[in-house]
Amino acid sequence: MVAGACNDPQSPRPRALLGLPDVGALAVTVATSGSNTPSGYTVTVDGSSSQSVGANGVATFVGLAPGDHVVLLSGVPSNCSVSGANPRTVSLIAGLVAATTFSVSCTAPPPPPTTGELTVTTSTSGSNIDADGYTVTVDGGASQAIGVNGSVTFSGLSAGSHTVVLSGVAGNCSVSGGTSRTANVTAGATASTSFSVTCTAPPPQTGSLSVSASTTGSNLDPDGYTATVDGGASQSVATNGSVTFTGLSAGSHSVALSGVAANCSVSGSNPQTVSVPAGGTATASFTVSCAATGGGTGSVTVSTSTTGSNLDPDGYTVTIDGSFSQPIATNGSVTFTGPSGDHSLALSGVASNCTVGGANPRTVTVPAGGTTTTTFSVTCAATGGGGGNGEVIGQGQIGNGSPTPGSDATTFDFDVRGDLTGRFTATDYADMHGSTPASLTTDPVADPATSFTAYRNSSSACSDPTHGVEVDAVGREDTGTLVSYTLTVCDNGPAGSGSDFFQLFIPSQGFGLSGPVTSGDISKR
């Protein structure tokens, strides 16, 4: 019966006997291994037909046309990777089931970050900007140097609030909003904070000078005197009084007392050299003695003219008639007032390397009601150098900060001897000629146009004059100009003590530099 039915021409033919179908099927297998695997994925064929599939499962697509089909496995987490092409192309044959397998490997994801970073930025404007930058400190611990316009990054900071402090800010600079900040750091991210700094030119360092006069004797000068500083600013001062000069630059200044009557004389140096401290007051005192005037009296003015090398640093003493004496500078003058007639004048206190020309003592005739003059000419020879008290050596700087363009530092390097040999150089970083700091050099060997002309083995600029040396010289500036200058130094203590003193003065320019040695040493030998 079955066979007959099958062969019955009236019955429909079975499907197996029909022609080959014109569609096919695709079985997509997913095999997942490893840790932290997902629950499943999505399989998409030709970008349109999709099915969900388990982490280890099969998705079957039917009714697909024969030919190439694009198969994509999506929904793969970041800790998993698919082996082989994805998407991939699979070819189908009509009437058959094609197959492809996606192998997926998964790993445990890294733990979430617990720390973050902080970037600190500085922005500086204005004048006299801090040359060595600043320091940034986080939470009072970790620190980093930072430029005046720069940035640094701190890593490995715990998530949360942190305190950021900017230090090392120069006194002439201010930080907008203060030097402390609070920054919140997020784990896995970079936070930022900034400091805005404004700098202004510091005011000039000035001080004051009090000048006093003390007058004794008879017939005191009725109109007082005149005190003059550096040959410029002058004030009247009473015979027993004082005046104060303010706004003077810190450093060495010369003060002179003039207008002294003919019957009066000033004891000690006139002019005097004084050092004015920044923010303080220096003092200079003049002691004046006056003699009685009247009929039958006159005056004699005694002058000294000293030439040569290693001039006597403390001057001389001139004595009249073996009884009344006055100090007198190596190139200066004093006046004696007394009875007319013949008087004996003697110059003493002359250094052993100096000789007096002409008679000493000598006799002068003082006219009644008039004035006579006499001059002692003194010639000094160079003392031996290269040892003992005839040599001074120095290397270091005055001023603060590092010697960089625009700073207030002045460096020096010298070795000068009493026989007027040696070398000297100084560089002023506050005085820039373009990109080059101003410099002054004396080196007779390398530059014969430069020379040392005098060497004095003490200086009144020092608290103990015997610790000082004064040198007159001709040097060449970095511009090529030759200038005469005086170098004054004090060896007041050991290296690094900050008690040594350096002073350079160029009379033709009215320019000077002076101050304590902040780095290095000066040694008088």
Burial class (CB in 10 A: 0-12, 13-18, 19+), 455: buried
The answer to whether the beta carbons of residues 373 and 362 sit under 8 Å apart is no
> Any bridge partners for residue 504, and if so which?
487, 513
The answer to whether the beta carbons of residues 151 and 175 sit under 8 Å apart is no
* pLDDT value, residue 389: 54
> Any bridge partners for residue 252, and if so which?
275
CA distance 504 to 525: 20
The β-bridge relationship of strands 160-167 and 180-185 is antiparallel
CA distance 375 to 332: 10
How many beta carbons lie within 10 A of that of residue 157, not counting itself? 19
* pLDDT value, residue 439: 94
11: DSSP letter? S
**The total number of residues written for the chain in this structure:** 525
The β-bridge relationship of strands 451-456 and 468-477 is antiparallel
* pLDDT value, residue 18: 34
Q: 433, 435, 411, 415: which is closest to 424 by C-alpha?
A: 415
How many beta carbons lie within 10 A of that of residue 264, not counting itself? 23
Three-state secondary structure along 2-63?
Answer: HHHHHHCCCCCCCHHHCCCCCCEEEEEEEEEEECCCCCEEEEEECCCEEEEEECCEEEEEEE
Residue 417 CB partners (closer than 8 Å, separation 6+)? 385, 386, 390, 391, 455
Which H or E run contains 121?
strand 115-126
Which H or E run contains 379?
strand 371-380
State whether residue 353 is helix, strand or coil.
coil
Q: Between vectors from CA 158 to CA 154 and to CA 164, what angle results, nearest 5°?
A: 50
520: DSSP letter? E
Q: Within a 13 Å sphere around the CA of 365, how many CA atoms are in the beta-carbon half?
A: 1
How many beta carbons lie within 10 A of that of residue 400, not counting itself? 12
* pLDDT value, residue 478: 92
> Any bridge partners for residue 290, and if so which?
217, 264
CA distance 31 to 37: 11
CA distance 281 to 286: 17
Residue 33 CB partners (closer than 8 Å, separation 6+)? 103, 104, 105, 106
* pLDDT value, residue 382: 64
CA distance 284 to 45: 105
> Any bridge partners for residue 33, and if so which?
105
* pLDDT value, residue 122: 96
Task: Give the tens place of pLDDT for each residue, 376-429.
Answer: 998 887 664 433 458 999 999 999 888 998 888 999 999 999 889 999 999 999
What are the backbone angles phi and psi of residue 2, rounded to the nearest 5°? -65, -45
Cα distances (angstroms) measured from residue 484 to each of 233, 377, 452, 481: 24, 24, 10, 10
Ordered DSSP codes for 286-325: EEEEE----TTEEEEEEEEEEEESS--TT-EEEEETTTEE
Task: Give the tens place of pLDDT for each residue, 182-234.
Answer: 999 999 999 999 999 999 987 778 899 999 999 987 778 778 899 999 989 99
Residue 258 CB partners (closer than 8 Å, separation 6+)? 225, 226, 228
Structure tokens at 363: 């006799």
CA distance 412 to 517: 10
* pLDDT value, residue 461: 86
Q: What is the pLDDT along the chain (525 residues), one digit of tens a residue?
A: 333 333 444 434 333 333 446 898 999 999 999 999 999 999 999 999 999 999 999 999 999 999 999 999 999 999 999 999 999 999 999 989 999 999 999 998 888 888 999 999 999 999 889 889 999 999 999 899 999 999 999 999 999 999 999 999 998 899 999 999 999 999 999 999 999 999 998 777 889 999 999 998 777 877 889 999 998 999 999 999 999 999 899 999 999 999 888 778 888 889 999 999 988 999 999 998 887 665 467 889 999 998 877 777 778 889 888 767 889 999 999 998 877 788 889 998 888 778 888 898 899 988 887 889 999 998 887 664 433 458 999 999 999 888 998 888 999 999 999 889 999 999 999 888 888 899 999 999 999 899 999 999 999 889 888 899 999 999 999 999 999 999 999 998 777 777 899 999 998 888 889 999 998 999 988
Structure tokens at 50: 């999709």
Task: Give the tens place of pLDDT for each residue, 23-39.
Answer: 989 999 999 999 999 99
Residue 132 CB partners (closer than 8 Å, separation 6+)? 168, 401, 402
* pLDDT value, residue 388: 40
CA distance 167 to 178: 11
CA distance 348 to 257: 24
* pLDDT value, residue 299: 87
The answer to whether the beta carbons of residues 516 and 498 sit under 8 Å apart is yes
Cis peptide bond upstream of 271, omega within 30: yes
The answer to whether the beta carbons of residues 522 and 392 sit under 8 Å apart is yes
The answer to whether the beta carbons of residues 49 and 71 sit under 8 Å apart is no
Which H or E run contains 411?
strand 410-417
